Amino acid sequence: MSIPSQDNAIQSGRLMRALIYTLLIFFVLYYLLPLWVMVSNSLKTLDEIHGGDMLAPPRAITFEPWKAAWSTTQVGVEATGLRPYFLNSILMVVPAVLISTFLGALNGYVLTKWSFRGANLVFGLMLLACFIPFQIVLIPMARILGMLGLAGTIPGLVMVHTVYGLGFTTLFFRNYYAAFPTELVRAAQIDGASFFQVFWRILVPSSGPIFVVTIIWQFTNVWNDFLFGASFSSYDSTPITVALNNLVNSSTGVKEYNVHFAGAILAALPTLVVYIVSGRYFVRGLMAGAVKG
C-alpha cells in the first residue's frame, strides 16, 4: 500500500472514531439529562423552580427538600416522609433476594448435576414463569396470601417476589452450572461428599460471578416493583415505590416539585449505588453465564 493510501486510511479511521465518540457523548448526555434535572431541581427552592429554566443549576443550594422528603412531607394521610417506607423496602428486598438466589442456585445444581427424568420439562416450566405477566398472577396470589394469613404483610411481599423471581434465578444458575465439570461432582460423591457438601464446598465457591448477577437482578426488580407493592401491601408494609406515588399525588395545596424530585432520587438511590459499585461485575458475570449451557 502506498503512503498516500495509508494516510487516507488513517484519516478515515480518525474521522470514524471521532464520529463514534461524538454520538456516544450525545447519547450519554441525553441519558443523563433527566438525572441532572432531578438533582438540580431537588437542590432549589420552590420559588426558583417556579421561575422557570429547570435545566439551570441552582442559584442557592438548599437541602431542605431532601430533609422534607425523608422525614416530614405528606405521604398519603401521614406527614412521615419516606423514611418508614424505605425501611419497609429494605425488610422486603433483603430476604426476598437472598431466598430466591439460594433456591435458584439449588435448582440449577439439581437440574444440571443431579439430572433426573423430566428435568428438562421442569426447567421449561420454570422458564415459562419468566414470561408470565404480573397482572395474571394478582388474583391467584391474593387468594393464596389470604389463605396463609400473609395478606398485607412484609412476609407476604417477600413470598410474592421470591416465587416470581425463582424462574429467573433458576435460569441464571442452570446455565452457569451446565458448563461446570461434572467430573468434579462425581469425584466428590465417590469421596463420600453429600448433596449439600458438594453444593457448598465445590459449586458455591466457584459461583461468585453468577451470584453477583442474580443478586443485582433480583435486587433491582424487587426494589423497583410497584404493582405487587400496590396490590399486596397495607399501610404498615407499603414499600417506597408505592409511598413515592402517594407522595407525588398527595394534595396539600402546593405541588412541591423540589421535594418530589428529592423523593424520587431517594427511592432510586439504592439501585444506583448497587450498579455503580458492582456494575462491571454484573456485565462480567452475565457474559460468563451467557456462553454456558
Q: Residue by residue, what is the 3-state secondary structure of 27-89? A: HHHHHHHHHHHHHHHHCCCHHHHHCCCCCCCCCCCCCHHHHHHHHHCCECCECCCCHHHHHHH
Whether residue 102 sits in one domain with residue 44: no
Span of 21-25, 84-88, 179-183, 243-247 with lowest mean pLDDT: 179-183
pLDDT 10s digits, 6-25: 666 667 778 888 899 999 99
In this structure, what CATH number is given to the domain that contains residue 169? 1.10.3720.10
Q: Please enumerate in sequence order all residues whose Cβ is within 8 A of that of 193, keeping only pairs 6 or more positions apart, or say none.
A: 201, 202
Tell me the per-residue pLDDT of 235-266, one tens digit each, with 9 for 90 and over.
Answer: 889 999 999 998 888 756 678 889 999 999 99
- 71 within some domain: no
The helix (run of H) or strand (run of E) holding residue 117 is: none
Average pLDDT over all residues of the chain: 87
Domain presence at residue 181: yes
Q: How confident is the model at residue 291 (pLDDT cuts 50, 70, 90)?
A: very low
Torsion of CA 91, 229, 171, 183, to 10 degrees: 20
Q: Is residue 5 part of a domain?
A: no
Domain extent, residue 39, equals 14-62
Unique residue bearing C-alpha cell 457438601: 197
**Domain count of the fold of the chain:** 2
Of 255, 254, 263, 253, residue with least CA distance to 86: 263
In a domain, 139, yes or no: yes
Do residues 123 and 207 share a domain? Answer: yes
pLDDT tens digits for 189-242?
888 888 889 999 989 988 888 998 899 999 999 999 999 999 999 888 999 999
Domain assignment present for 148: yes
d(CA 38, CA 33): 9
